[in-house]
Amino acid sequence: MSRQHSTPYLVTDGAAYRLQQVNANFDEGWLQDFIFKHHQTLPLDEIEPAFGPLIPVCRELPTPVGPVDLLFINARGLLTLVECKLWRNPEARREVVGQILDYGKELSRWSYTDLQHAISRAQHVADSSLLELVAHNSEEPDERTFIDSVARNLRRGRFLLLIVGDGIRESVEQITDFLQNHAHLNFAFALVEFTTFSGPEQHADWVFVQPRVIAQTVEIERAVVRIEDGQIAVVSTTQDKTTTAPRRVKISEQIFFEKLEADAQSRAALQALLEKARQMELYVEPGDNSLKVKSILNDVNFGVFTVKGEFLNRGIASWAEAVGRPEIGDAYLEQLAALFEGGFVHRSKRRFGWSVKVRRKRHVALVTLSELLKISDDWLQLVQRTLDKIAEYGE
């Protein structure tokens, strides 16, 4: 069954106005202009949080294989490439995925200087500065650190590649399935559908835009991109059939571990712990500087690991209260606190902020990663008991 947007309604002053989908005057140029000006409408939090906040760089970035529609960057030197297509164009359905892969392949060969020169050509400014652009739109980064970061991401091919269109055809989704199931990519890839609707008659100049992530890959290292007869071909790596394929992780999660203030042994131990969590009814949600461990069924947050090596538990107490079972959140936090020497539940004014902390000799602090790792099996057992209680509530 093909996916369709249900008709949205604008409800105001007690009246509901049916919105109409817009097709006329909606072309790729309009879409490019809209996304470049209103880049916050791209659902990065659902795709790769590490690539935000986006800073618009240029349109029509020249490359040897054609111009990239839109280029964005963030203060950490992560690049996002956007290709805008109207899916009613047959060539878009056939070529757009290979096209954006070509762009990523070409940029992975560039140096920072190459990128800067291409940006200057796109902006028609001889001496434009990417560093100054980023500093103008965010906290001014350290010059050497920023340039090194951009160069490293170029070299690794660490990009976010987005194809944005007015309607995703099944054939394109099948291409994305191919990428996700058979390719080891150094970049993240997503299809984003933008459907536009006109306002009610008295507000005919209004435009309502509904973005939706249709499909996405997750980041996988050791890319295999082969050129055959001048065409790009993405193929899977050959693996021993007796071994398990490496788990696919998002770039945001990889960046978290790169930034994590911990030794190699603790990093490996946390990765092993997260693998155990994934075997339960849990998933890992990477954020800008954190990883959350959450329940698949009801999105309950059981813990947050920060890049500073801290562990906290915001959200579970307020969730339990909201569903009418505050004792579930209270019991989880109390039993978790009991696992740590000097542990207690810090109860802030808002239940959302309740978290386990520990009393040290002279101060109170959050639980550290090393403290959590020492009782990791006990923590997972507590999480499982809490999941069982939540399941009983659901019944």
Is residue 247 included in any domain, yes or no?
A: no
**Residue that is last in its domain, among 185, 216, 234:** 234
Residue listed under structure tokens 């069982």: 388
Q: What is the pLDDT of residues 61-97, one digit of tens each?
A: 999 999 999 999 999 999 999 998 876 655 555 577 7
* Same domain flag for 212 and 154: yes
User: What value does the mean pLDDT take over residues 279-299?
Assistant: 89
pLDDT score recorded for residue 335: 97
* Same domain flag for 175 and 37: yes
* Same domain flag for 222 and 319: no
* Of residues 163, 164, 195, the one with CA closest to residue 179: 163
Q: For residue 22, which phi and psi values (nearest 5 degrees)?
A: -100, 130
Dihedral angle of Cα 169, 170, 175, 176, to the nearest 10 degrees? 80
* Same domain flag for 270 and 389: yes
Please check whether residue 207 is in contact with residue 196, taking contact to mean a CB–CB distance below 8 angstroms: yes
**Residue that is last in its domain, among 218, 234, 250:** 234
Is residue 88 included in any domain, yes or no?
A: yes
* Same domain flag for 271 and 224: no
Is residue 244 included in any domain, yes or no?
A: no
**Residue that is last in its domain, among 180, 215, 234:** 234
Sheet strand arrangement including 282-286: 282-286, 290-295, 301-306, 310-312, 364-368, 355-359, 343-346
- 317 burial class (0-12, 13-18, 19+ CB within 10 angstroms)? buried
**Which amino acid makes up residue 366?**
L
Please check whether residue 191 is in contact with residue 215, taking contact to mean a CB–CB distance below 8 angstroms: yes
For 279, how many CA atoms within 13 A lie in the half-sphere containing its CB? 8
* pLDDT interval class at 214 (50, 70, 90): confident
* Same domain flag for 76 and 193: yes
DSSP result, 223-234: --EEEETTEEEE
| Whole-structure pTM value | 0.74
User: What value does the mean pLDDT take over residues 259-282?
Assistant: 93
For 113, how many CA atoms within 13 A lie in the half-sphere containing its CB? 0
Is residue 209 included in any domain, yes or no?
A: yes
Is residue 324 included in any domain, yes or no?
A: yes
Domain that holds residue 354: 263-394
List helix spans (H) across the chain.
28-37, 44-47, 90-107, 112-123, 130-137, 143-156, 170-182, 251-259, 264-278, 316-322, 326-337, 369-374, 376-394
Q: What is the pLDDT of residues 136-155, one digit of tens each?
A: 888 878 899 999 999 999 98
Rg (alpha carbons) of the chain, rounded to whole number: 24
pLDDT score recorded for residue 167: 63
Is residue 256 included in any domain, yes or no?
A: no
User: What value does the mean pLDDT take over residues 5-32?
Assistant: 73
Q: Distance from first CA to last CA of the chain, Å, rounded?
A: 31
pLDDT score recorded for residue 38: 92
Average pLDDT, the chain: 82
SS in 3 state form for 278-306?
Answer: HCCCEEEEECCCEEEEEECCCCCEEEEEE
Into how many domains does the chain fold? 2
* Same domain flag for 210 and 160: yes
* Same domain flag for 144 and 289: no
* Same domain flag for 213 and 360: no
Please check whether residue 182 is in contact with residue 174, taking contact to mean a CB–CB distance below 8 angstroms: no
* Same domain flag for 176 and 36: yes
User: What value does the mean pLDDT take over residues 267-272?
Assistant: 95
For residues 196 and 102, the model is more confident at 102
* Same domain flag for 323 and 222: no
* Same domain flag for 201 and 317: no
Is residue 128 included in any domain, yes or no?
A: yes
Is residue 204 included in any domain, yes or no?
A: yes
Query: What are the angstrom distances between the C-alpha of 344 and each of 63, 272, 303, 337, 386?
Result: 57, 26, 15, 5, 18
Q: What is the pLDDT of residues 364-375, one digit of tens each?
A: 999 999 999 999
Please check whether residue 41 is in contact with residue 47, taking contact to mean a CB–CB distance below 8 angstroms: no
pLDDT score recorded for residue 171: 55
Q: For residue 204, which phi and psi values (nearest 5 degrees)?
A: -65, -20
Q: Which residues pair with 9 in a beta bridge?
A: 18
Query: What six digits make up the tokens of 147?
Result: 């340039």
Q: Which residues pair with 192 in a beta bridge?
A: 164, 213
Q: C-alpha 115: how far from its chain's center?
A: 24
Residue 7, SS3?
A: coil
